Structure 1
Amino acid sequence: MVNSTPTLDDLRNRLVDEIAAKHPLPARIEQAMRTVRRDLHLPGLDPADAYTNRAVTIKDNPNGPLALSCASVPSTVAMMLAQLDPQPGDHILEIGAGTGYNAALLAELVGPDGQITTIDIDPGVALHAREALNRTGYDHVRVMERDGLKGAPEHAPYTRMIATVGLWDVPATWWEQLADGGRLVLPLRWRGQTRSVALTRHGDTLVSDDMELCGFVPIIGQHGERTTGLANGTVRLHHDQDQPVGPDQLAEVFSTPLTELWSRARVGNEETFDGIWLRATASDDTVCRVEVTKQALENGVRRPAIPGRSPALVSDSSVAYLIAERDNTDLERPSRLGAAGYGPDAIALARDLVVHITDWSTDRAAVPGMTIHPAGAPDNALPKGHVVDKGDSRTVLFFTGTNA
C-alpha cells in the first residue's frame, strides 16, 4: 500500500506553490522558501499548521489584544523579501527577530559572503530566534537583544535593512546605519493605514518604488498614533498625533442625523478597495481610521465598509467614513461604495470622501510616489507634494503630473 501522508517537503512545496500561483516570486526567493524549514522555527506546532499561509503567535501580549511577537504570514514574508531584493554578499539588518525564520531566508539569499544581523527587544523572542537558527544550521546569523529603534550601529553600515514590526516613523538612528544607495523595507503607518514600503537611500532622501498593503505588530517605543473613543467607547478613531481629533468636539457626533452619499464606483466580491484610503492620504490631512464595534452597530451606528478598519475623514465636530452596500445591479461588481456622515459638516465631509472614491475609481492601481526626509529638512528642499510631518521625518506623497 502506498503511503499518501505528505512529507514535510511536500507540505513546504505546496505552500510555496500556493503563494507563487497568486503572486509570482523571484526565482531566488522561491528557492529559499522551498529550502528553509518553517516548522523547525515553530516547535510544538503541527507541521501541517506550520505550512499554512497564516500568521502564528509566538508570544502573547498581557497588556493588549495584539501579540508581542508572531511568525508573519508566509505570503507577506515572500512579498517583503521581493521588495528588499537581497543579493549575494549583502550586509543586512533585520529589526524584529521573531522566530528567526525570516533571518534564515535572508541568510540563504545573501550566501556565505553576506552577513545577517537580527535584533529584538524581547529577550525571550531573541532566545527563540537564536535557538531556532542554531537548530536549522544558521548559527552564523547574528542575533542581538536590542531596542529596534536604535538599530545595531556597531555592525553598520548595512546595504539593506528590513523591519518585521510596524513603524509609525523612520527612526533617525536608522539613517546613520543604512549605506547610501542601500535599501530599506518597512511596514510604515500613516493616517491609520499600513503599507510595506520599499525605499532606497539617495543621500538625505529615501525614495519609494513600491507599496503593498500589510499589517504588523507595532514596534515598542513609538507613540505617534492616538486613539479617541466615542459613543461610550464603542466607536474608536485611530489618528496621528498631528491631527486635531479629540473626544470633546466629537462627543455627541453619533447622536446627530445620518447622512449617506453614494458614488458611482462599484466593486466585485473579491476586489479590494484599500486604494481609496492610500490615495486620500496623498492630499487630505483629515484621513484616519474608524473602528466600529459590534455594540455600536447594535446601537444603530451605520456599518462601515469594514467595521474594524475603514478610512474616515474627521474635521471639527463631524466625521464621514467609507460604506459599501450590495445591490446586485451589476453582476460583475455587485456592491456600490459611498460615505456615511455625522455632525454639522456631515454633507461636506461625505462629499469629500466620495471625491476620493471617484478619483480612485478612475485608476484603481495607482500608487502615490513617496519620499522621506529627515525632520529638519526645510520646505524648499522637499519635492512638490503633500507633506506628513512626524517626529524624526517628513514624508512627501505625490502623484506624478499632479499637484496632489
Structure 2
Amino acid sequence: MNQNPTAAELRNKLVDEMIMTTVTLTPDVEHALRTVSREAYLPGVDLKDAYADQAVTIKENPNGPLALSCASVPSVVAMMLVQLDVQPGANILEIGAGTGYNAALLAELTGGLGSVTSIDIDPDVTLHARTMLNRTGYQRVTVIERDGLVGAPENAPYDRMLAAVGLWDVPAAWWDQLRDGGRLVLPLRWRGQTRSVALTRRGDTLVSDGMALCGFVPIIGQDGEKTAALNADDTIRVHYDEDQAVDVDALAASLRDAPGIETLSEQRVGGEEPFDGVWLRATAGDDRVCRLEVTPDAVDQDLILRPAIPVRSPVLVDGDSLAYLIVRREGTDLQRPFRLGAAAYGPQAEALAQDLITHIEAWGSARTSVPRLTITPAKTDAAVTGHVINKPESRMTLTY
C-alpha cells in the first residue's frame, strides 16, 4: 500500500485483516463493510484512525470514565452483523444510534425494500447520526430520539433487533416488538462480563445460538450492577449484580489483614490463547461470580496478588473471602507457557480457591464450548432446566 492510501484502500485493508484474523464474514456483511465509508461518520478523525480496528469516542461522559457514545470497534460491529443474519427486505430496529455508521450498514444489508429504525436517548447523538446518514445517502433510515428501553413500537414488529449499547436486562417492552421467529442480538451483561448474544424468539422464549465476548457503553436507565471499593484509596473494586450478597467491609478487612494464597490448576494457555471462557463457564452454575478490578496503582504497589487481567478478572465472593483468576508464567511448556490458577484471601481462601480451580478445569475439558442461553419474561411460569439468573424484567437460564 502506498504512503498516502485512500479511504477505499484503508477500508478494504481493514476488512481483509478482519477476515484473516478475527471474524468469519458472510458475503453480504463483507460487501456492506467494503461499501459504507466509516470515515464519513467520523468527521475530524484522522483517516487512518477511522480505519483502525478500535472504538472512537464521539461524546465524552462528564460523570464517569465511560463515554456516553462511541463508534464501536469495527471487528465487533462485523461480528454482531454476522450474528444478526439480516435478510433482504427485513424490518430492523437498532438501539443506540452512535455515529449512524451501523445503521448505514444495516440499510445496505436489508436493501431498498427493507427498513431501518435507529433510536438513541441523547439528542446530540441522534442529530449527528441523522446528519451523517443524510450526507451519505441513507435518508431512508428513520432516526428517533427515544429511550432505548422503550423501543420503537410505532414501526414494529421487527424481523431483527440489534442493540449497540450494553444491556444488563432484556426490557419487557421489547417482547411485543420482535416478531415470532425474529432475531435479537445484544451485548448482555451478567456476573460482571458482557457477551454479544444472538437470540431467536420462539413464542415466549428467546433461545441463543451463539455468543462472543465484547464490551459496550451501557444503556442509560439500567443500574442492576453495583460497584464497591475494597480499600481506602479506591484502587481495588468489586463489581456485582444486585441479587448477589457482597459484604464489602468483610472483604476489605480480609484483603488488608492477611496475605493471599495462590493455587495453580493443570490448565495452560499460549500467549494469544483466550481464556475468558473460564468466566463464562463459572457463571453457568455459580452465583458467587463477580468482577474484580485492580487499578495500575494497586498493581504497582503490590497491594494484591496480580489478577489475570487487572481491570477485569472473574472473582468468587463468599462472605468475608474471595478468590480470583490469575495467570503465572512457567517454562515447562513452550507452546503454552502460562498456567491458570487462583489467588484467594480470607478465612475461606483455600476452599474458594479450589472452587475456582474446579471451574478452570471444567473449562479446560472443553475450551471452545459455550452454554445455551434461554431468556423468558420475568413473570413466566414456564419450567426451565439449567442454572437460572433472575433479573427484574427477564429470567436467564444457562445450560451446557
1:363-398, CA deviations, whole angstroms, 9 ceiling, x for partnerless residues? 1001011100100123xx232100000010000001
Aligned to 1:240: 241
Amino acid at match of 2:159: T
> For 1:370 and 1:205, how far apart are their aligned partners in 2?
10
Q: Is the 8 A contact 1:269 1:334 kept in 2?
A: yes
Q: Is the 8 A contact 1:288 1:312 kept in 2?
A: yes
Q: Is the 8 A contact 2:230 2:249 kept in 1?
A: no
Relative to structure 1, is the Cα distance of residues 314 and 4 closer, same or farther in structure 2, using a 3 angstrom cutoff? Answer: closer
User: 1:3-402 counterparts in 2 under 5 A?
Assistant: 5-22=4-21, 23-232=23-232, 233-254=234-255, 255-297=257-299, 298-378=301-381, 381-399=382-400
Q: Is the 8 A contact 1:228 1:245 kept in 2?
A: no
Relative to structure 1, is the Cα distance of residues 261 and 4 closer, same or farther in structure 2, using a 3 angstrom cutoff? Answer: closer
> For 1:174 and 1:382, how far apart are their aligned partners in 2?
22
- SS of residue paired to 1:148: coil
> For 1:109 and 1:14, how far apart are their aligned partners in 2?
21
Amino acid at match of 1:139: Q
1:207-246, CA deviations, whole angstroms, 9 ceiling, x for partnerless residues? 0000011000000000000112102122100010000013
> For 1:78 and 1:294, how far apart are their aligned partners in 2?
32
**Coordinate RMSD, CA, aligned:** 1.1
> For 1:3 and 1:50, how far apart are their aligned partners in 2?
17
1:186-212, CA deviations, whole angstroms, 9 ceiling, x for partnerless residues? 000000000000000001100000001
Deviation of the 1:3 alpha carbon: 7.3
1:313-340, CA deviations, whole angstroms, 9 ceiling, x for partnerless residues? 0001100000111112100000111000
Q: Is the 8 A contact 2:316 2:352 kept in 1?
A: yes
Aligned to 1:402: none
> For 1:53 and 1:250, how far apart are their aligned partners in 2?
38
Q: Is the 8 A contact 1:261 1:339 kept in 2?
A: yes
Q: Is the 8 A contact 1:129 1:143 kept in 2?
A: yes
Deviation of the 1:165 alpha carbon: 0.3
Stretches of structure 1 that go unaligned for 5 or more consecutive residues are 400-404
Q: Is the 8 A contact 2:247 2:320 kept in 1?
A: no
Q: Is the 8 A contact 1:84 1:184 kept in 2?
A: yes
Relative to structure 1, is the Cα distance of residues 63 and 3 closer, same or farther in structure 2, using a 3 angstrom cutoff? Answer: closer
- SS of residue paired to 2:149: helix
Deviation of the 1:81 alpha carbon: 0.1
Amino acid at match of 2:268: R
Q: Is the 8 A contact 1:162 1:184 kept in 2?
A: yes
> For 1:206 and 1:361, how far apart are their aligned partners in 2?
28
- SS of residue paired to 2:316: strand
TM-score by length of 1: 0.96
- SS of residue paired to 1:252: helix
Q: Is the 8 A contact 1:29 1:81 kept in 2?
A: yes
Calculate percent identity across the aligned residue pairs.
64
Aligned residues: 396
Stretches of structure 2 that go unaligned for 5 or more consecutive residues are none
Q: Is the 8 A contact 2:90 2:110 kept in 1?
A: yes
- SS of residue paired to 2:353: helix
> For 1:231 and 1:3, how far apart are their aligned partners in 2?
52
> For 2:179 and 2:289, how far apart are their aligned partners in 1?
34
> Which stretches of structure 1, 4 residues or longer, exceed 3 Å deviation after superposition?
none
> For 2:328 and 2:154, how far apart are their aligned partners in 1?
55
- SS of residue paired to 1:387: strand
Amino acid at match of 2:168: W
Q: Is the 8 A contact 1:382 1:396 kept in 2?
A: no
Amino acid at match of 1:175: W
Relative to structure 1, is the Cα distance of residues 4 and 335 closer, same or farther in structure 2, using a 3 angstrom cutoff? Answer: closer
Amino acid at match of 2:144: M
Q: Is the 8 A contact 1:198 1:210 kept in 2?
A: yes
Q: Is the 8 A contact 1:231 1:296 kept in 2?
A: no
> For 2:4 and 2:346, how far apart are their aligned partners in 1?
60
